[in-house]
Amino acid sequence: MTADTGYENPAPRKGFFTDTSVCIGCKACEVACKEWNLIPEDGLELTGMSYDNTVGLGADTWRHVAFIEQRKPLGGQESTASAASTVDLGMPAMPGAADRSEFRWLMASDVCKHCTEAACLDVCPTGALFRTEFDTVVVQEDICNGCGYCVPACPYGVIDQREDDGRVWKCTMCYDRVGDGMEPACAKACPTDSIQFGDLDELRERADERLAQLHDAGIDDARLYGRDPDDGVGGNGAFFLLLDEPEVYGFPPAPKVTTRDLPAMWRRAGLAAATLLTGLAATFLGRKR
């Protein structure tokens, strides 16, 4: 059963597991996503933010590869300088070699999370957003009226409106490809299997094994993000293995369904309206007497 609709799902839930520990930042996923989905170019100017020229997800960027520079060696590994010091190369040390050894890249391909409890579905007035038989969340652009209610409802800031007509666009997890038994374009193009697609339960088991492997290797900072079904959004259909805190990657540390309090808010609003009407009725009847 799905958390949003309550219908019996005949197909196993599909999802993404992104293992950022093997991402090489090639951006093949970005290119494949754009080519398959005919997404417009989103600007070719360098931003000055490392090697990242797309900055984040948006209406014209459904996959975004982040490049994060850190003065920090990868956990469980000896720094380049200390390793080199054990070998007499007969060469003078390069200036700044010790500083350069304490350096690493964190790379991660971000995407819509396809939440189990998706706030964007709750607020859409036209039904443009719907949950598929694979438990993914898709926008029907021909039904979207550009109201934009779903934009602030997303706890991850994924959904965005195009400037030309105001309609919203985001990752569909290649709904058309998955329906034909193919994997999404981004996963197909990933050369290192950093992006893995399949049955969500199987991906979660695979992620647990990979996390244990990294911990055994001494990489204690490794963690899973969005894998837990008991988190604030009921678990994600697209989850990640990270090598640092979620905030480092631009992810909220504790996402919550933004519409969770809506029923209580409507009840309170209804009670306030009823109280106001009662007061007005009493005033009117008092004057009439």
Sign (positive or negative) of CA dihedral 181, 14, 110, 39: positive
At 54 the pLDDT is: 81
At 55 the pLDDT is: 83
At 9 the pLDDT is: 53
At 10 the pLDDT is: 61
196 pLDDT above the threshold of 70: yes
User: So where are the chain's domains?
Assistant: 14-78+99-258
* pTM for this prediction: 0.78
How many C-beta atoms surround the C-beta of residue 183 within 10 A? Answer: 19
205 is written with which tokens?
A: 């088991």
Burial class (CB in 10 A: 0-12, 13-18, 19+), 30: buried
pLDDT: which is higher, 86 or 282: 282
Closest CA to 172 of 157, 191, 190, 158: 158
At 100 the pLDDT is: 55
At 11 the pLDDT is: 75
pLDDT: which is higher, 13 or 5: 13
Question: Which residue bears the tokens 């093949």?
Answer: 28
Distance from C-alpha of 166 to C-alpha of 249, rounded to nearest angstrom: 28
Sign (positive or negative) of CA dihedral 124, 128, 133, 136: negative
Greatest alpha-carbon span in the chain: 108
Average pLDDT of the chain to the nearest whole number: 83
Chain segment 208-264, per-residue pLDDT in tens:
999 999 999 999 999 999 998 888 888 899 999 999 999 999 999 988 888 754 554
Asked whether the beta carbons of 129 and 148 are under 8 A apart, the reply is no
Mean pLDDT value of segment 181-209: 97
At 271 the pLDDT is: 57
At 203 the pLDDT is: 97
Cα 188 to Cα 74, 128, 177, 178, distances in angstroms = 28, 27, 11, 12
67, 104, 100, 79 alpha-carbon torsion, rounded to 10°: -170
Closest CA to 22 of 193, 204, 203, 230: 193
Distance from C-alpha of 93 to C-alpha of 75, rounded to nearest angstrom: 24
At 91 the pLDDT is: 46
pLDDT: which is higher, 288 or 54: 54
8 pLDDT above the threshold of 60: no
Give me the phi and psi of 157, to 5 degrees please.
Answer: 65, 30
At 231 the pLDDT is: 83
Mean pLDDT value of segment 138-156: 94
Chain segment 71-118, per-residue pLDDT in tens:
887 665 554 444 443 334 444 555 555 555 578 889 999 999 999 999
At 249 the pLDDT is: 94
Distance from C-alpha of 122 to C-alpha of 104, rounded to nearest angstrom: 41
Distance from C-alpha of 289 to C-alpha of 287, rounded to nearest angstrom: 5
Which CATH fold would you assign to the domain 14-78+99-258?
Alpha-Beta Plaits (3.30.70)
